[in-house]
A and B are shown apart, each in its own frame.
Chain A
Amino acid sequence: MAIYRLLLSCFLLFPIPTVNAQEIFTLSGTVSDKASNETLIGVNVIIPERNTGVVTNEYGFFSLKLPEGSHMLQISYLGYQTNSRQIELHQNTRINIQMQQSSENLDEIVITEDVEQTDIRSPEMSVNKLSINTIQKLPAVFGEVDVVRSLLLLPGVSNAGEGSSGFNVRGGAVDQNLILLDEATIFNSSHLFGLFSIFNPDAIKDLKLYKGGIPAKFGGRVSSVLDIYQRDGNSREFKAQGGIGVISSRLLAEGPLIKDKSSFLVGGRSSYAHLFLKLTDNPNSAYFYDLNTKLNYKVNNNNKFLFSGYFGRDVFNINQNFRNSYGNAVFNLRWNHVVSENLFSNLSLIYSDYYYGLTLDFVEFNWDSGIKNFNIKYDLNHYIRDGFKLEYGLQNTYYQFQPGEISPTTATSGINYYKLDNKYAVESAAYISAEQELTKTVSVEYGARLSAFLRLGQKNMNFYENDQPVIYNEARDIYQEATPVVKPTANRDEVIASFFNIEPRFALAYNFAENQSVKVSYNRISQYLHLISNTSSPTPIDVWAPSGPYLEPQLLDQVAVGYFRSIDKEHYSLEIEVFYKRIKNRIDYIDGANLIANNAIETVILNGRARAYGLEFLLKKHKGRLNGWLSYTLSRSQQQTPGRTAAESGINNGAWYNASFDRTHDFSITSSYTLNEKWELNANFIFQSGLATTYPVGQYEYASMSVPIYASRNSNRLPAYHRLDVAATYTPHLKKDKRIKSSWNFGIYNLYNRKNAYSITFSENVDEQRNEATRLSLFGIIPSITYNFHF
């Protein structure tokens, strides 16, 4: 309750300053890149003499309230020349600002100017930003530039080992990340079971990862928000770029349809079909591809339509016997409308689909599963006055879950047609969020999100004796599945379970000294979808389950406190944060749970909770020939599933246990050095505690097999993980008259060939009839070369 009171006091206690007699006008407009006319996100538009300013939104729009008269406007943005201009304001004024990339000064050595730092004064905290420019230069495994892998170099972000899918933020699970591509939810962000992420770096304009202090406009996942925007396409001239790498090749084309009004972008990426498979004559293939498209049309200064699409698939075909295909498809249509000079709106219509399909010829069946959703969102940015901005909006999503359908592929197949019941749900939310400068040194962001989740009727529903889908067998001390009584339910309109939550959000920044601030934030978030996965890292076949009669929504509370400082004229920045979070209703699985093709998933699930806490440290050097960052995270992530009654033992005897992705220490250094105009060198070093794991404490013999015995779950650790990667980018001397510009990237991953344990497995050596521990290490030293071009 304390939080509600605090929130309320924000609204009531801080008086809104009365407006001066001097007339106030609005200066609004859009900031874009001069060469491509691409709108720019997060540009600082500042009035230095008034010590005030604003940041452009996701569509490059800004609005400022200023008194009548003459003002000096300063516009600055990462990688662009700072632009200063005098504005005479005698009425509400609309300006469109074009910025020039600083890298276009070809005769000088380009010194990357990196402003991926958190604004000292703004209440925004716990946010990681990486520019595509930075990501593209980092050394990468197989030379494949990867968005998610790059994020792992920042504090608070980790994963469950090399080659595992997804990422973990502040001790949260993979399914607790909200991944948005042009505002559409992505359900699986991995290619090749997690070796690469699905984002084609060439097509991306901007990305931001919120680890805490999550604004009220986001909801539905408790751990983090990865907010990615695709580029709009160049509306000035036709451009193309691409690359040829060890694993995949890329090509992207963009250009105007109607100059300065409408543009397109089409980007494709595909890996080679016989990837990794050594035998050229074998009938197997494994590959992935992506297609990114974007169309936009600017009707006038106040109206713009954007259409974007993403389609990606992974395909595996093992000697025609095992065929597997999965991926995301996303389409959305957005309408940016400037309602008035201080009110910006965006309406999004989004369709997103995740599909998983499998054919096993030797057992003659097909498996199809997936999740579809239709989402409508209306978001408004309201610039009330100088230092006070409101964001509010409505969101509504309709989900259709298809957990699985099995069909025989031949007339003689021994498999019967079987369909797991489709599930349906509606998730709605309304939110309001204010960003306010209370004094010259204190600013706050506060708001709330009201979310509702309605589970709708489906064909059949399961009912259980005593309402208990899981039975505890006290004599044997095991949990067992109850047998459901299946009853048909009424129609789809019927609501069979409903959940409502108020989610307060709050953040405050106190700029107590020049270039120094302290920030605090609190947020509550609810999550209504659960990824049903019993492995350390999710697999593509895992299905999402909606909250319902036997599955409660997850509810998170997170508090974070941070110290932020910029040092030596913004050459360096320092960010230190501590966080604590707890999650109610984190599900766990009974031993031996069968999750695949289970139409009564509630019979293998127990309700528990999770908690995580930690310290994050980030020191960045932004300017100069040598720049980069040092990141350190000390954290712990745990889960507990106690028995439902005193007689039950719960999971792991009801004790807290480490999450399988828990790492105590996570340290990395990332550096980049510009040698001369042709060569840029990059290196990163990573040192991490081993992942939590469970080693056996004994064995028994049963049916001539050695069966391991375990004590407490995840109480052991794999050996420490460390590696050094280096890369060099060579850009041949640029001739002004030459149209094609190219560069080469040479990389070596894991330079000193450390055999990092991906896993240590304990099994019986059948030939020698004794047990042994086997270490599997995935990536040894891997050199790579990539050729990139654009024209």
Chain B
Amino acid sequence: MKKIIIIVTAFITIMLSSSCEDVVEINLDQSKPRLVVEASIEWLKNTQGNFQSVKLSTTSDYYEEEAPAVTTARVQIVDSEDHVFVFNHVSDGIYQNSYFEPQLNMRYQLQVEYKDEVYTATEIFVPVVDLDYVEQTENGGFNGEQIELKAYYTDPANETNYYLFTFKDEKASFEIYEDEFTDGNQIFGYYSNEDIEPGDEIYIELAGISRSYYQYLFLLRSQIGTNAGGPFETKPATVKGNVVNQTNKENYALGYFRLSQVVETSYIVN
């Protein structure tokens, strides 16, 4: 549904032939650095899923090009049967574990100790259905000739599900779906882009996600890219995740800890 607003905004911008866009210099204030956690545990169906990693960084000045890596934290994940999986720093803020035991619907807790403060986050391992097939059509975009891909899956009936699609061409883009209006149906993840060309190999991944992570991504997406600014902008907000600072609540962390079962396929555009 968010798409409607995006289309409307894009349309008003396109139709105003006298409009123009230029890059301007704007001086910005700075906020003090906070811890950022990117802990996306993904378990590809029919694999062991024991190699996992977590990325830690801090916030930075808005115009900074590199995110400062956090290399001195202690990271571990504990499941609800008290199995502890320690993640060790490898390089550039990446922490790895090689003996992780993924279990669907199990509750896990992420624990991070950084600068004498303890951060935790709790989530459930979310399962996912299989991808059925991929369909290619050619009537997307404003000119109606853009290549579009539809990756079909079948939503389980009578339960609430949330999905995260990742389409990787030259760059990755993601789409999130809920099943409020599509419960129990065969439905698709949609991808269209003016850069898609015949012969491209497009990697498609489908992950099951929790409602809370869906809401996080929903807000995250409204805060990045073309959606900001102007009369149809959504209100700017700092996107807060599920990582809680247990030592000092004020010094909250950003980012998210989630666990998803995933399925993948790749498609060659013809």
Contacts and interface: CB of A to CB of B under 8 A. Distances in A.
Q: Do these two chains really belong together in a complex?
A: yes
Interface of A: 160-161, 163-165, 192-194, 275-279, 282-284, 286, 316, 318-322, 358, 360, 362-363, 365, 406, 414-416, 418, 475-478, 480, 534-537, 539-541, 589, 591-592, 594, 596-597, 693-711, 713, 755, 757-764, 766, 769-780, 782
Contact of A702 (B61, B64, B254): B254
22 contacts: A163-B16, A318-B11, A319-B142, A320-B144, A414-B188, A416-B184, A476-B242, A535-B231, A592-B216, A592-B218, A592-B219, A597-B180, A698-B62, A702-B38, A707-B223, A759-B229, A760-B26, A761-B230, A770-B63, A771-B62, A779-B16, A779-B19
Contact of A322 (B7, B15, B57, B238): B7
B26 A773 contact: yes
B22 interface: yes
Contacts of A160: 231
B266 to A, nearest CB: 19
A475 B190 contact: no
A701 B143 contact: no
A480 B255 contact: no
Contact of A701 (B7, B67, B228, B238): B67
B98 interface: no
A708 B23 contact: no
B215 interface: yes
Contact of B240 (A163, A478, A534, A535): A478
A701 to B, nearest CB: 4
Interface string B11-28: 111111111111111101
A416 B12 contact: no
B7 to A, nearest CB: 6
Interface stretch (B29-37, B82-90, B106-114): B29-37
Given A697-B29, A705-B224, A774-B23, A318 B142 contact: yes
Interface string B209-241: 000100110111011111011111111111111
A358 B4 contact: yes
Interface string B73-114: 000000000000000000000000000000000000000000
A709 B63 contact: no
Contacts of B229: 693, 759-762, 776
Contact of B38 (A537, A541, A703): A703
Nearest to B24: A775
A773 B139 contact: no
Nearest to A770: B65
B20 A699 contact: no
Nearest to B67: A701
Given A477-B240, A760-B24, A707 B220 contact: yes
Given A763-B228, A779-B19, A697 B1 contact: no
B28 A319 contact: no
Given A703-B38, A774-B24, A597 B62 contact: no
Contacts of B219: 591-592
Contacts of B25: 773
B268 interface: no
Interface size classification for chain B: 35 or more
A494 B265 CA distance: 55
Contacts of B40: 703
Contacts of A362: 139-140, 148, 190
Interface in B50-71: 57-65, 67
Across the A-B interface, the 5 shortest Cβ-Cβ residue pairs: A537-B231, A592-B219, A761-B229, A319-B144, A759-B229
Given A591-B237, A698-B61, A780 B232 contact: no
A164 B12 CA distance: 10
Nearest to B172: A704
Contacts of B252: 476-477
Contacts of B226: 761, 763
A326 B16 CA distance: 20
B21 to A, nearest CB: 5
B230 A758 contact: yes
B148 A698 contact: no
B17 A278 contact: yes
Given A540-B8, A700-B58, 12 more contacts: A319-B141, A415-B182, A416-B185, A695-B29, A696-B236, A700-B36, A707-B254, A762-B229, A775-B23, A778-B16, A778-B19, A780-B18
Interface-central residue, B33, B234, B237, by most chain A CB under 10 Å: B237
Interface-central residue, A539, A591, A706, A780, by most chain B CB under 10 Å: A591
A698 B20 contact: no
Nearest to A282: B143
Interface-central residue, B12, B63, B234, by most chain A CB under 10 Å: B12
A708 B36 CA distance: 12
Nearest to B65: A770
Given A480-B215, A592-B219, A709 B254 contact: yes
Interface-central residue, A163, A283, A360, A418, by most chain B CB under 10 Å: A163
Nearest to B228: A761
B218 A594 contact: yes
Nearest to B252: A477
A536 B236 contact: no
Contact of B18 (A589, A693, A778): A778
B214 to A, nearest CB: 10
B228 to A, nearest CB: 5
B99 to A, nearest CB: 25
A536 B28 contact: no
Contacts of B30: 697-698
Nearest to B219: A592
A161 B230 contact: yes
A325 B62 CA distance: 40
A286 B15 CA distance: 9
Contacts of A761: 226, 228-230, 233
A319 B58 CA distance: 45
Contact of A534 (B23, B38, B190, B234): B234
Contact of B31 (A278, A709, A780): A709
B2 interface: yes
Given A282-B143, A406-B181, A536 B233 contact: yes
Contacts of B142: 282, 284, 318-319
Contacts of A758: 19, 230
Contacts of B254: 700, 702, 707, 709
B246 to A, nearest CB: 9
Nearest to B27: A695
Contacts of B181: 365, 406, 415-416, 418, 597
B233 A535 contact: yes
B36 A477 contact: no
Contact of A773 (B23, B60, B231, B233): B23
A260 to B, nearest CB: 47
A709 B252 CA distance: 13
A539 B224 contact: no
Nearest to B174: A703
B238 to A, nearest CB: 5
B190 A596 contact: no
Given A416-B183, A701-B57, A592 B233 contact: no
Contacts of A769: 65
Contacts of B19: 758, 776-780
Nearest to A592: B219
Contact of B231 (A163, A282, A701): A163
B269 interface: no
Interface in B117-163: 139-144, 148
B4 A476 contact: no
A161 B12 CA distance: 13
A61 B180 CA distance: 57
B77 to A, nearest CB: 18
Contacts of B115: none
Nearest to A278: B17
Contacts of A193: 8, 12
Contacts of A782: 18
B228 A762 contact: yes
Contacts of B60: 698-700
B186 interface: yes
